[in-house]
Each structure stands twice: as C-alpha cells, then as structure tokens.
Amino acid sequence: MNRQRRKTETQKKAADRGQWASKTEYILVVAGNVVGLGNLWRFPYLCYKNGGGAFLVPYGLLAVVVGIPLFLLETSVGQYTQEGFITCWAKLCPLARGIGYGHFIMTLYGFSYIIVQVWALLYLVFSFRSQLPWASCENTWNTANCTSLQILDSPSTNWTNQTRLTNTTSAATEFWERRVLAMSGGIEELGSVRWDLALCLLVCWVFCYFSIWKGVRSSGKVAYFTATFPYVMLVILLIRGLTLPGAWEGIHFYLYPDLNRLANLEVWIDAGSQICFSFNVSLGILKVLGSYNDYKNNCYKDCFLLCLLNSGTSFVAGFVVFSVLGFMAQKQGVTVDAVAESGPGLAFITYPQATAMMPFPQFWTVCFFLMLFFLTVDTHFVDIECFITSVCDVFPKVFHKPGRHEIFALIICLIFFLLHLMLVTEGGIYIFQLIDNYGSTRACHYFIALSECLALAWSFGADRVIDIIEDMTGQRPSVFFKLCWKYIIPLLSLISFILYMVDYKHLRINDSYTYPDWAYALGWTMTLSIILVVPLWAAGQMCLTPGTFRERLSVLCRPAENPAWQRRKNEEEGTTVELTASAVTT
C-alpha cells in the first residue's frame, strides 16, 4: 500500500510540474542552452589571444577536471531531487539553500542578455536592404570621419592603406554606435527610448512567452527548431568561410600554437572562465532541466555527450569566425590581429563588415544574424523557464494548478519587458555593460562552484552522490569525479576567486569614459548580493534552529531521502532479509 501511494504521489508531482516528452527534447533544450554566445564570440578570440592551439591544453584540461564533473553533479542533483534550484536543497543540505537564492539572483541579472537578441533582430531587419547600411558612409548618422570599406586589389599596399585609415571611423562602427545604440555620453545620460529597439524587445519577449507558456511541454517542442537551426547556419557559414581567399591565413592566426603562453597564469584563468560560461555550470539551470527527466534517465552518458557537443561547437565556431577575418584582413591589406575582436565588437562590427565584402552580402549577413538570433533565443527562454519553475516549486500549492503557470509566465515577461526598456535607451549600453561585468562576473561563478562542492561533496557526501548516480543510471562514476568534487574544483575555485579579487580592475568601456563612483558601488552591490546570500542564509538558519551547535548542524545538513531512492533501499533490505531467512531455514 505504501509503495502504491508513493508511486501515485510521484506521478502526480510529475503531472503538476511536467516532464520531458522524450529524451530528444531534453538533449535539444540543454544543447540549445549551453551552446550560445560564448561559443561564437568568446572562445575563438580567447584561443587566438592565448596562444592559439596551445590554449586548447588548459581549456581541455579544465574541461575534464572542472566542466564535466560540475555538469554531471548539477544535472544528477536535479534529476535526483525533481526540484528547482531553490527547493532541491531541502533534500540535499538545507543549510546550503542560500546557493539556490544565489542562482535566483544570478538568473535575474542574466535576463539582461536579451538585449543581444534585440540587436541581432534589428541587424537582421537591416540585412534585407539592397544597400547594407554599415557598408557605406552615405547615411544620415555618419560623420565626416566615417570611412567606407577599403578593399585592396593587391596586398602590396598594406602599410600605405593602414596609414591612410588612421584617425577615421569605419562605417560599421558608426552604424553600431550612432544608429543602433545612439550612445549617450554615459550612464548618467539615459536619454530617450529607441523605438525600433523597443519594438524588437517586444517581439523577443513575445517569442519567449509563447516558447515557455506551457512549461516544458512547449519549450521542448520549440527546441526542435531553435536548437538545430543555428547548426544549419553554422555549417553554411563554415563552408563559405573556408572557400574565401585569405581564409587559411585567418585560421593560422586562430590555431598557430605558442607554447610559451602556457606559462602565463592569465591564459589558465581565461580557460577556466570560459569553461564556467560555456558549460553553464554554477547557474542552477542544469539542475532545473535535469529535474524534468525520468528518475532512471542516464544523465551520466548525457553529460559526456552534451559537454563534447559544446566544446566541439566552440572549436568549429573558431573556423567560421577566423576564416572570415582572414578574408577581411586580406581585402583590407592588414594583418588578422588588426581586425580580430571579441564580444559585441565581433558580432556587430567586424563580422557584418566582412560579409559586406562578399558577393551576395545580404544572404551571408542574413545567415549570420539568423544564427546569432536563435543562439540567444535558446539561452534566454530556457533561463526564464528555469526561473519560473524554481519559484513555482517554492509555492507548489499556488502555482501547480491548471492555468497558473501561463499567468505567472505572462506576468514575468511583462515586468521584465518594462524593466528592460532601460537597456534600449541611449545610455542602455552602459547599463548592460555594468550588469554584464558585475552581475555575471567570474567571481560569482567561482564562489557558487566552491559552495556547491562543499555542500554536496562534503556535507551531503560525494560517495552518496556517486551511489545516487549509479542507482539512476546503472553506471557507477569513476572515483576521479569524487576527487574533482572534493578537492580539485574547490581548490581551483578558491584560488580563482582570490585572484579575481586581488587583480580587480574598474570597468571601462573606452579610454574616454569612466563610470561614476555610484555606478561602481551599484555594480559591487550586484556582485555581493550573489556572494553574501550564501553565508547569510546559513548563519540565519543556524541562529533560528533550536538546539546545540552540533544538533543544529545535524538537522540542517541531514538530507531528506528521495522517495524513489528510499524505495530502492527498502527493496534491497527486504531482499536481504528474505535471503537471510531462507538461509537460516535451510
């Protein structure tokens, strides 16, 4: 009777929260979430900047000892608890529930990345014009310093061309800064809302809502297109890039190994930060996505597949980017390092400028911005869905009812659409850079990763985690994972966190503008709101829980057993008793 009741309760909970309709949906949604902007505009530049092919050594090593173990830890925890990133800690280590609230705050700040999706959509609209607006200086927003694309018939005039371009601004840069952003003088001058960006923002939030309004039942279906379409565009752009003149010169810059760079600590720090951002670990998202799996899903095998897909996409994206940069450098008569950039500069200035030099530029520009748009779509709507799921799990009696999810999702999308109107003002880029630098800083990732490993590998128990994974998947992870969770990841996270705090530098967009003191104070408030919530929650629970210090620790660190896990233990114990009784009778 008890077993039947537990089975009914589990089925009811799955019906209330929802589950993936198939294993394919889970793989596509997770792949769409982890493969994003970091793969396209961050990894290739870091690889080129930090020793080319030599950068693959620290990247690969840290992927093995940090990325994959953390990915497996977070996914398996979600699948085991069947809860969001806040309530899951009740079954693991109640004292560490502050980590869940840290995830909550980081996710809120991460919503601001929808602005990249907005920019990509606006560029996509402009890509259908007969004359690409970033290819010429014949527009109302251009200045006297604007210079159109300089294309050389022969590379023999390299240095002359570079000299002539000094103290000028490219048409692509002016389109980005003066037409799209209409940048004000600083964060103190927000200015007016850009109506075209506001309209694109509305479209993005509407698309997001209808991707998640039915929970995983809708987001899983949407991912069939949004997760696969960028790969189609990536393959098309890769083939085109490799056939361009000068492409292999760009690839040489991308991969030529400089082994001396491995002695530079900054190279290893960049590799570690790329692992955190690219694998989406320490954000809580993987816990929530894993919680929609069946308890017996083989998350152990999924982990290796998804991590390999993520790193492989980053590597291939480098060929897409640097083949085009090599072509651009040859056309302009400069070296590749003169055109190589990272971040928005690559996506919205350099790459569009390069595609404008190709035959049929509109087609290649449309391909690129379609890919960029759907890369950001996946990441964004999954983050929103995980945020909503985690809040709903905190208040299940309120939200786990028919129609409640749709209403709550609508309210969240509406509120953040209104809040994000600040990002589409003339000073919006300064707000976005502040959130990007402080709300999603490496220090937060390092601290959360350290806290997770201490809570799960030491308090909950690394052996227990391994037992749980074996029970769910039928495969027992190697002792290597236990060593990573208990020693390697905490040590590396602590060292990286300390180095970040010691080597901290003020955020600056350019040499001519410095943020006011109140902006830096606001930025550090965002960072500390994530970091301090973990120890403050633990201290608060220790104060509010009655009993001696040892009794409080026992209560707050003792995990509640998962029903499926307990059922398996009871069955095993029952089998053992029966076998023992049989042996005694014999």
**Can you read off the two tokens belonging to residue 49?**
């900047």
User: What per-residue confidence (pLDDT) applies to 404?
Assistant: 87
Closest Cα to residue 251, out of 311, 324, 314? 324
Q: Please report the domains of the chain, with CATH numbers, ordered by start residue.
A: 22-139+174-544 (1.20.1740.10)
Whether 568 shows a pLDDT value over 80: the answer reads no
3-state secondary structure 275-303: HHHHHCCCCCHHHHHHHCCCCCCCHHHHH
Whether 578 shows a pLDDT value over 50: the answer reads no
What does residue 425 show for φ and ψ, rounded to 5 degrees?
-90, 175
User: What per-residue confidence (pLDDT) applies to 163?
Assistant: 41
Closest Cα to residue 534, out of 453, 480, 472? 453
Whether 164 shows a pLDDT value over 70: the answer reads no
Helix axes 195-212, 404-419, angle to 10 degrees: 160
Higher pLDDT, 216 or 445: 445
User: What per-residue confidence (pLDDT) applies to 561?
Assistant: 45
Alpha-carbon distance of 415 to 405, in angstroms, equals 15
Residue 166's pLDDT band (cuts 50, 70, 90): low
Tens of pLDDT, residue by residue over 257-308, are 888 888 988 899 889 989 988 899 999 999 999 999 999 999 999 999 999 9
User: What per-residue confidence (pLDDT) applies to 425?
Assistant: 95
Tens of pLDDT, residue by residue over 370-423, are 999 999 998 999 999 999 999 999 998 888 888 888 999 999 999 999 999 999
Residue 162's pLDDT band (cuts 50, 70, 90): very low
Tens of pLDDT, residue by residue over 66-97, are 999 999 999 999 999 999 999 999 889 999 99
User: What per-residue confidence (pLDDT) applies to 151?
Assistant: 59
Residue 576's pLDDT band (cuts 50, 70, 90): very low
| Lowest-confidence segment of 233-237, 334-338, 426-430, 543-547 by average pLDDT | 334-338
> What percent of the chain stands above pLDDT 70?
88
Higher pLDDT, 216 or 59: 59
Whether 123 shows a pLDDT value over 60: the answer reads yes
Residue 150's pLDDT band (cuts 50, 70, 90): low
If you average pLDDT over residues 543-550, what whole number do you get? 84
Tens of pLDDT, residue by residue over 135-148, are 888 889 998 888 87
Tens of pLDDT, residue by residue over 421-447, are 999 999 999 999 999 999 988 899 999
Amino acid at 571: E
User: What per-residue confidence (pLDDT) applies to 577?
Assistant: 38
Closest Cα to residue 289, out of 546, 518, 83, 3? 83
**Can you read off the two tokens belonging to residue 539?**
């201290």
Burial class from Cβ neighbours inside 10 Å (0-12, 13-18, 19+) for residue 161 reads: middle
Q: Which residue stretches of 454-562 are H helix?
A: 462-473, 479-483, 489-502, 517-531, 533-544, 549-557
Whether 582 shows a pLDDT value over 60: the answer reads no
Q: Which residues contact 361 (CB under 8 A, 6 or more apart)?
A: 132, 135, 355
Closest Cα to residue 533, out of 108, 96, 87, 94? 96
Closest Cα to residue 332, out of 578, 157, 516, 584? 157
